[in-house]
């Protein structure tokens, strides 16, 4: 018999069920899904991956160099030290395709070869679709992902619908804006993408769906989506600007659509050429369209502030077009919805920059007015809550890992690489230095009562100190470095997190309580909830874990794709924030439910902290930034009051009242801003529909109790209309208000006079009638039924036409204000447009489930549809193809009803959760909101404010100039430190221009930059030019110290220049020694002594020449340097070690033994190094030379 081994993904296992039916008929073993028949192949360990690669290549002609395999496995290994088979498969296939077999070839791919290969594989698959289909293929791939980094399931209809909306580049060499071309259906490239294995085809009812083969592919696709967008946008703009003045050639039925901002630049009239103003109008609309797409894509890329500025600029451009009567309806709604999305979803408030490297920790003061950040540049920096710098605290001699405020805010503690905890006053004055740890200090924390400080160190201990720095006790228990320490709110428990994978709990006096085990690697952070009932920990394994206060595990939060470095509870304990090496901050509910992901950092996020008021989150990253985020997105107005599903929502004609109808049997009235007005009670069952009379004085409600109730606007019951034998599903007033139409589950439409007199009954539907509507002039009635039809009737009830096309129940029908279009929606997921006489116009596809409601905007240019997929979709009501305009997302369940306010500035949607959501499309309000949001950012980022002065006059940026002037001064001072005189002067002059109250001599203030420039020139041996710079600096400020970095007392420019030139020669000598050019190195050191005889070359510099010269074969020539180094630092073990090396290599065995023994005797030396030196001593004592070429090679 034959044994067959099948290798397939878990999500394909169900296909084996098909085989089972066949196997049973053939008498074969059929139970393929038995547990003992299946072997789960998970991610590989690096060693396993290495073996797999060896086994796959050793028997083939395609062999990889061992060094390449080692580098490849290292790159493929994730934070969890695992290699994903799918990634290995893709990268390996591309290595073979490109015939890359050596490490050198691999490294030539760039800084991230793995990502480059994955991207090339994607490019290769897409290229197989054919040059003309490359843009569509990329759009399909982008459609199969979402902004949250997940794969999505899409039908072909959804993919084709999205083709008009998704901007993404085809490839760097094939811009999508190359030429106008007709839309290509997704069906063309889909089979190729499926055949390549990149896309899965799921056969489902009622429609097949498509999905990317693996989550791993989402990131490179999204990166391309985001990275290529702006490039394509600029290309599109350039092409538009270069178009011949006065005309744009049009092609019949062609669209130049916005893909990576390649936008509709022209509108066709069969073969016509449009000149002059029309061309300018189309170009202007295209640019607004492009900018609205840019805003959305910037936002989705994590550049939220840039997105908001772009969206505001776009709306300003749209207003300018409106003033000329140039603004097209679709352009207007795209601009508005882009601004609305950004203004309401934005979280990024500000970016704070000042550290010169990674920012490792961030913390708020107890009152929330000050932020402290700690960085790898050795500083702690203090900032106002709006980002204004306050002070820089210098004292640590290495990286600062942690910073914390005392509970009353008067003291700041910082923990550093130098093994110390430093205490500072809140104004930055140094108070004390706490010494005790034997290695770096990773974390520091104050007890709630402020009487104890805890510090966690790489020496494996937690140390407790009094608030004044007096040592109390040492907690020992971890078997490796301790990464984090935290006090419980009641101060009775301390939690510590360690490299050993545990969280340890201690009593406040240091007595051990428990060890919490669950993480599979280092635990980097631990924190207590404010109520002290939960502990949260974050680890190298990419998880956040929740524990009860006694250590009992609660749940594991998964979502990050890398190490989680920091975790924190919000002040009220309802939210958890976690920071990760994947560059994101994730927010979770206290029970672990994911809330949202904050994107924006371009590197690892090391720390996250909530402000005391819980309205701001601060995050610190390796990108050198502290970012401030709004803890909650700007809330849309939610009308809360119903305790069950809301079926219908309607605006009064004066726009001062909103009515909602619910399954709870009530109708609720609200002011336009969401303030509750009244609750109308009377129905004995669900209320399905509510409608205002044209003058707004009467409200009609329809219920499953079989009645329609009429109410005055104040809620007084007027009448009850009875007649239907079942539920009344819909109610509508005629335009003049004299007739009311009711639609019932009994299959009829009944017409009543406004006083409650029954007029007639319309029969024709073969099932429930779900919706009824009058045409604007009142001559026609439309009804929608579960029989899949829309029926048209004269106002007296005479049948006119039956509209067929839907394949499911029709839930809603509506007339356009001009009465030239009818819209209907159905359980088949479609919005259908018809001419007023019933002739089909278009089918709008986009919803992924039933469409429940449809409404026209007051001017009739836009259609809104509400769906069971939780979205409201906006479409262009152009009567031909219903172009998709925007999707309003944010509902947590099905949307049952949608309605425009009379002036079109608000959309109301009725939700499954008993609320009504109001979507603001008021341009003035959105602009005000956006401008307020940008204030702090613009004040602290003068370059952006300068752009705003040109492009965002609507925000009145000139009023912020006096405040921003101080930021310009800081920028000028930074240019001074960088040694750029011209830039510094420019910033200082601009600061005084922006704020006349600032008065100083800009050139004098910038003069130190000339000194720095002079030092650089001198170090480069350009002594004459350096002297010129020094003289120029002194002419501006005679009090300047030219020789601050040397011990040269002479202030003469010539002398100082020679001293810095000497420093340059020493640096050059070090580099030459490292490169093995020892004689040139010696010459450089001697030249330094000649240039500046008084210059004291440090022991470290002499030791560098000594050690590298000896290892490079010139021990005798550099012995003088060894002696000088020892003379300066006789007790420095590494200096003695280097001289010992030189002595051994020149035959001075006794001297070498003496130096190596000194190294061993030094307590700071590691046991491994001591053992190595002892071996050298033993070999030398035996009369042999331990320094073979192999040993020297390792020492290099």
**Residue 943: pLDDT over 80:** yes
**Residue 175: pLDDT over 50:** no
593-628 pLDDT per residue, tens:
999 999 989 889 999 999 998 789 999 999 889 999
Q: Give the integer Cα–Cα distance in Å for 840 and 842.
A: 6
Tokens of 827: 């359980």
Residue 43 is predicted with a pLDDT of 75
Residue 573 is predicted with a pLDDT of 93
pLDDT band at 10 (very low <50, low <70, confident <90, very high): low
pLDDT band at 793 (very low <50, low <70, confident <90, very high): very high
Q: Give the integer Cα–Cα distance in Å for 157 and 1026.
A: 70
Of the candidate ranges 261-270, 356-365, 481-490, 679-688, the one whose mean pLDDT is the lowest: 261-270
Q: Is 1005 left (phi over 0), alpha (psi -120 to 50) or beta?
A: alpha
Residue 710 is predicted with a pLDDT of 96
Residue 249 is predicted with a pLDDT of 32
Residue 177 is predicted with a pLDDT of 33
| Percent of the chain at pLDDT exceeding 70 | 86
Q: Give the integer Cα–Cα distance in Å for 592 and 311.
A: 34
Residue 147 is predicted with a pLDDT of 60
Where do the domains of the chain lie? 1-40, 42-116, 229-348, 351-630, 637-921, 1001-1097, 1122-1196
pLDDT band at 128 (very low <50, low <70, confident <90, very high): confident
**Residue 437: pLDDT over 60:** yes
CATH architecture of 637-921: 7 Propeller (2.130)
Q: Is 1049 left (phi over 0), alpha (psi -120 to 50) or beta?
A: alpha
Fold of 351-630: Methylamine Dehydrogenase; Chain H (2.130.10)
Contacts 24+ apart (CB under 8 A), 1137-1144: 1137/1173, 1138/1103, 1138/1106, 1138/1107, 1138/1110, 1139/1106, 1141/1107, 1141/1110, 1141/1111, 1141/1115, 1141/1187, 1141/1195, 1142/1106, 1142/1107, 1142/1109, 1142/1110, 1142/1115, 1142/1118, 1143/1115, 1144/1176, 1144/1180, 1144/1185, 1144/1186, 1144/1187
Residue 700 is predicted with a pLDDT of 97
Residues in CB range of 745: below 8 A, 6 or more apart: 724, 726, 727, 728, 729, 768, 769
H or E element, residue 16: helix 15-26
Q: Give the integer Cα–Cα distance in Å for 865 and 888.
A: 10
3-state SS, residue 45: coil
**Residue 281: pLDDT over 80:** yes
**Residue 153: pLDDT over 60:** yes
Q: Do domains 351-630 and 637-921 have the same CATH topology?
A: yes
**Which pTM value belongs to this model?**
0.68
Residue 130 is predicted with a pLDDT of 73
Residues in CB range of 523: below 8 A, 6 or more apart: 483, 484, 497, 498, 499, 501, 502, 503, 537, 538, 539, 540
Residue 317 is predicted with a pLDDT of 93
Q: Which DSSP string corresponds to 702-759?
A: EETTSEEEEEETTS-EEEEEE--SS-EEEEEE-TTSSEEEEEETTSEEEEEETTS-EE
Closest to 1042 measured CA to CA, from 1017, 1065, 1010, 1006: 1010
Of the candidate ranges 32-36, 108-112, 424-428, 434-438, the one whose mean pLDDT is the lowest: 32-36
What does the pLDDT average to over 903-929?
A: 93
**Residue 167: pLDDT over 50:** no
**Residue 731: pLDDT over 90:** yes
Q: Is 660 left (phi over 0), alpha (psi -120 to 50) or beta?
A: beta
Higher-confidence residue: 257 or 495?
495
**Residue 183: pLDDT over 50:** no
* Structural Rg of the chain based on CA atoms: 37
581-596 pLDDT per residue, tens:
999 999 999 999 999 9
Residue 456 is predicted with a pLDDT of 97
Residue 357 is predicted with a pLDDT of 86
Residue 191 is predicted with a pLDDT of 78
Q: Give the integer Cα–Cα distance in Å for 1134 and 669.
A: 82
Position of tokens 């609309």? Answer: 285
Of the candidate ranges 319-323, 630-634, 844-848, 920-924, the one whose mean pLDDT is the lowest: 630-634
**Residue 1174: pLDDT over 80:** yes
Query: Side by side, which strands form the sheet with 895-900?
Result: 637-640, 915-920, 906-911, 895-900
What does the pLDDT average to over 1064-1079?
A: 92
Instruction: Give the CA angle between residues 940, 945, 950 to the nearest 5°.
Output: 180
Q: In the predicted model, what is the mean pLDDT of the chain?
A: 86
**Residue 165: pLDDT over 70:** no
3-state SS, residue 298: helix
Residue 255 is predicted with a pLDDT of 27
CB neighbours of residue 1128 within 10 Å: 17
**Residue 20: pLDDT over 70:** no
């Amino acid at each position: 018999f034959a044994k067959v081994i099948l290798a397939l993904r878990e999500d394909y296992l169900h296909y084996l069920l098909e085989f089972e039916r066949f196997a049973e008929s053939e008498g074969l073993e059929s139970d393929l899904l038995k547990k003992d028949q299946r072997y789960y192949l998970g991610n590989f360990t690096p060693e396993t991956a290495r073996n797999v690669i060896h086994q796959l290549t050793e028997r083939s002609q395609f062999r990889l160099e061992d060094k390449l395999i080692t580098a490849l496995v290292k790159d493929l290994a994730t934070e969890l030290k695992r290699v994903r088979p799918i990634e290995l498969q893709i990268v390996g296939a591309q290595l073979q395709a490109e015939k890359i077999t050596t490490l050198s070839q691999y490294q030539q791919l760039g800084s991230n070869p793995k990502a480059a290969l994955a991207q090339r594989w994607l490019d290769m698959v897409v290229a197989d679709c054919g040059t003309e289909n490359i843009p569509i293929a990329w759009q399909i791939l982008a459609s199969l992902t979402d902004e949250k980094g997940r794969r999505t399931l899409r039908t072909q209809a959804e993919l084709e619908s999205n083709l008009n909306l998704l901007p993404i580049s085809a490839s760097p060499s094939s811009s999508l804006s190359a030429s106008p071309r007709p839309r290509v259906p997704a069906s063309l490239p889909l089979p190729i993408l499926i055949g390549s294995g990149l896309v899965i085809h799921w056969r489902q009812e009622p429609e097949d769906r498509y999905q990317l083969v693996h989550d791993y592919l989402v990131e490179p696709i999204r990166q391309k989506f985001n990275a290529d967008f702006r490039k394509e946008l600029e290309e599109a703009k350039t092409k538009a600007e270069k178009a011949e003045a006065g005309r744009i050639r049009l092609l019949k039925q062609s669209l130049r659509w916005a893909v990576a901002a390649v936008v509709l630049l022209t509108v066709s009239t069969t073969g016509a050429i449009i000149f002059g103003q029309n061309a300018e109008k189309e170009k202007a609309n295209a640019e607004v369209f492009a900018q609205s797409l840019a805003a959305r894509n910037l936002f989705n890329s994590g550049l939220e502030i840039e997105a908001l500025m772009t969206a505001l600029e776009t709306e300003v451009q749209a207003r300018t077009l409106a003033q000329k009567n140039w603004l097209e309806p679709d352009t207007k709604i795209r601009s508005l919805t882009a601004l609305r999305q950004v203004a309401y979803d934005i979280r990024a408030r500000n970016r704070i920059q000042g550290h010169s490297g990674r920012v490792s920790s961030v913390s708020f003061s107890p009152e929330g007015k000050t932020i402290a950040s700690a960085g790898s540049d050795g500083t702690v920096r203090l900032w106002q809550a709006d980002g204004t710098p306050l002070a820089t605290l210098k004292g640590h001699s290495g990286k600062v890992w942690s910073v914390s405020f005392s509970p009353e805010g008067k003291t700041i503690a910082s923990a550093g690489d130098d093994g110390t905890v430093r205490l500072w006053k809140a104004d930055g004055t140094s108070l004390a230095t706490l010494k005790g740890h034997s290695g770096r200090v990773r974390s520091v924390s104050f007890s709630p009562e402020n009487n104890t400080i805890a510090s966690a160190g790489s020496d494996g201990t937690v140390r407790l100190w009094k608030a004044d720095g007096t040592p109390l006790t040492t907690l020992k228990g971890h078997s490796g470095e301790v990464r984090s320490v935290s006090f419980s709110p009641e101060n009775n428990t301390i939690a510590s997190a360690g490299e050993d994978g545990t969280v340890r709990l201690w009593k406040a006096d240091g007595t051990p309580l428990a060890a919490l085990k669950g993480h599979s690697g280092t635990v980097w952070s631990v924190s207590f909830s404010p109520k002290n009932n939960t502990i949260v920990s974050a680890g190298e394994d990419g998880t956040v874990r929740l524990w009860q206060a006694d250590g009992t595990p609660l749940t594991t939060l998964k979502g990050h794709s890398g190490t989680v470095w920091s975790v924190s509870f919000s002040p009220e304990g309802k939210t958890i924030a976690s920071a990760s090496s994947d560059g994101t901050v994730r927010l979770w509910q206290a029970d672990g439910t994911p809330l949202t992901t904050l994107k924006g950092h371009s590197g690892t996020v090391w720390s996250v902290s909530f402000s005391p008021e819980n309205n701001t989150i601060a995050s610190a990253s390796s990108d050198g930034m502290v970012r401030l985020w709004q803890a909650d997105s700007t809330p849309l107005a939610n009308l809360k009051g119903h305790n069950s599903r809301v079926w219908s929502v309607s605006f009064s004609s004066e726009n001062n009242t909103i009515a909602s109808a619910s399954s709870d049997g009530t109708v609720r009235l609200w002011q336009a801003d969401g303030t509750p007005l009244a609750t109308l009670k009377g129905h004995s069952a669900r209320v399905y529909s509510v409608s205002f009379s044209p003058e707004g004085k009467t409200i009609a409600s329809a219920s499953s109790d079989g009645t329609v109730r009429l109410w005055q606007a104040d809620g007084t019951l007027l009448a009850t209309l009875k007649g239907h034998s079942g539920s009344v599903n819909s109610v509508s007033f005629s335009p003049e208000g004299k007739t009311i139409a009711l639609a019932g589950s009994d299959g009829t439409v009944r017409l009543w006079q406004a006083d409650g007199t029954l007029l007639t009954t319309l029969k024709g539907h073969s099932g429930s009638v779900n919706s009824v509507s009058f045409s604007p002039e009142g001559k026609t009635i439309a009804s929608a039924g579960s029989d899949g039809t829309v029926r048209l009737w004269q106002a007296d009830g005479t049948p006119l036409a039956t509209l067929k096309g839907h394949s499911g129940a029709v839930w809603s029908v509506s007339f356009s204000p001009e009465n030239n279009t009818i819209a209907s929606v159905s359980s088949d997921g479609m919005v259908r447009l018809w001419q007023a006489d019933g002739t089909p116009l278009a089918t709008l596809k986009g919803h992924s489930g039933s469409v429940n409601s449809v409404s026209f905007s007051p001017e009739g240019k836009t259609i809104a549809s509400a769906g069971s997929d939780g979205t409201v979709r906006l479409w262009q009501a152009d009567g031909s193809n219903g172009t998709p305009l925007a999707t309003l997302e944010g509902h947590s369940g099905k949307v049952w009803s949608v309605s425009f306010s009379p002036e079109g500035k608000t959309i109301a949607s009725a939700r499954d959760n008993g609320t009504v959501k109001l979507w603001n499309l008021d341009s003035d309000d959105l602009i005000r909101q956006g401008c307020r949001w940008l204030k702090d950012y613009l004040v602290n980022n003068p370059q952006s404010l300068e752009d705003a002065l040109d492009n965002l006059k609507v925000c009145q940026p000139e009023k912020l100039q006096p405040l921003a002037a101080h930021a310009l001064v800081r920028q000028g001072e930074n240019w001074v430190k960088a040694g750029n005189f011209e830039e510094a002067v420019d910033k200082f002059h601009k600061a005084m221009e922006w704020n006349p109250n600032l008065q100083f001599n800009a050139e004098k203030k910038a003069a130190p930059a000339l000194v720095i420039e002079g030092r650089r020139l001198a170090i480069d041996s350009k002594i004459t030019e350096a002297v010129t710079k020094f003289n120029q600096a002194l002419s501006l400020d005679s009090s300047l110290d030219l020789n601050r970095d040397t011990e040269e007392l002479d202030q003469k420019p010539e002398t100082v220049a020679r001293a810095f030139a000497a420093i340059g020669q020493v640096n050059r000598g070090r580099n030459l020694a490292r490169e093995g050019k020892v004689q040139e190195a010696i010459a450089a050191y001697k030249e330094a002594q000649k240039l500046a005889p008084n210059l004291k070359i440090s022991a470290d510099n002499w030791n560098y020449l000594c050690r590298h010269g000896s290892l490079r074969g010139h021990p005798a020539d550099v012995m003088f340097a060894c002696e000088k180094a020892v003379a300066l630092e006789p007790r420095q073990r590494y200096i003695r070690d280097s001289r010992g090396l030189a002595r051994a290599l020149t035959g001075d065995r006794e001297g070498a033994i003496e130096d190596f023994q000194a190294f061993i005797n030094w307590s700071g030396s590691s046991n491994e190094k001591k053992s190595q030196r002892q071996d050298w001593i033993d070999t030398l004592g035996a009369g042999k030379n331990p320094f073979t070429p192999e040993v020297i090679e390792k020492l290099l």
